[in-house]
């Protein structure tokens, strides 16, 4: 099990390599922790003494997932063309939960905004791919 302190320590260990070889810099740069400046020019402490960021819950993300789960329920009341069972709601709820956890994890662990956006877009792409495969029964 790798803890966050171990990742920061490994980044400090490989920092001279990342600086000398530009090829490794993009690979190791997402391991930076927000509030921890490894390449500071002066010897003063960074803005925070704790390199770990506090976990911040994003209620809008989870609220949007709940609203997305309620859309088929509302559609079932309005039209007979939408016919979801309990297993459909459970599967979509599980998929939305995994998606939200991936987004929260990416937003918490990755310090660079570009890597965060890449991780979120990849999570959404995987979610949409699995959803499309389940919609046309390719995974039977």
Q: How many CB atoms lie within 10 A of CB 12?
A: 12
**pLDDT over threshold 90, residue 137:** no
Q: Evaluate whether 44 touches 59 at the Cβ level (below 8 Å).
A: no
Chain-centroid distance, C-alpha 139: 25
* Structural domain spans, the chain: 1-54, 56-140
pTM of the model: 0.59
**pLDDT over threshold 90, residue 54:** no
Q: How far apart are CA 121 and CA 140, in angstroms?
A: 26
Tokens for 90? Answer: 């459970």
């Amino acid at each position: 099990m790798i803890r966050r302190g171990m990742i920061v320590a490994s980044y400090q260990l490989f920092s001279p390599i990342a600086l000398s070889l530009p090829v490794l810099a993009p690979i190791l740069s997402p391991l930076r922790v927000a509030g921890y400046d490894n390449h500071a020019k002066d010897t003063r402490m960074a803005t925070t003494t704790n390199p770990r960021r506090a976990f911040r819950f994003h209620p809008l993300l989870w609220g949007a997932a709940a609203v997305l789960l309620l859309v088929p329920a509302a559609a079932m009341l309005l039209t007979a063309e939408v016919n979801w069972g309990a297993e459909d709601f459970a599967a979509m709820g599980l998929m939305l939960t995994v998606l939200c956890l991936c987004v929260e994890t990416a937003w918490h662990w990755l310090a660079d905004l570009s890597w965060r956006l890449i991780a979120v877009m990849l999570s959404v792409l995987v979610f949409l791919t699995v959803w499309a495969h389940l919609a046309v029964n390719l995974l039977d």
